[in-house]
Amino acid sequence: KKQAAARGFDIVKEEAKRYDRKVLEMQELRNQGYSVANIAELFGCTVSTVYRCLAKKIEATVEQLQEVGKKGGAKS
């Protein structure tokens, strides 16, 4: 962590961004009609994790949602 910070890389911030992208992807898949079980299988996680992520409120901008759409779905 110290070495990364010394090089100007914030691991915690980057990890939070990655998590938020996954949550947005899960929300988008759910909006497209995927079941919670299907989303859990796609992401390799539990159904309860998907429910927790879907409950998380993220102020998603149009740009963020378009970025998720460009990536073509669930990638972990």
* pLDDT per position as a tens digit, 39-50: 999 999 999 999
Give pLDDT tens digits for 53-71: 888 866 555 566 667 667 6
pTM tops 0.95, yes or no: no
Q: Decide: 28 and 69 in contact? Cβ < 8 Å.
A: yes
Contact at 8 Å (CB) between 53 and 42? no
Give the SS3 label for residue 30.
helix
* Identity of residue 74: A
For the chain, state the CA radius of gyration: 14
Whether 11 and 1 have beta carbons less than 8 Å apart is answered as: yes
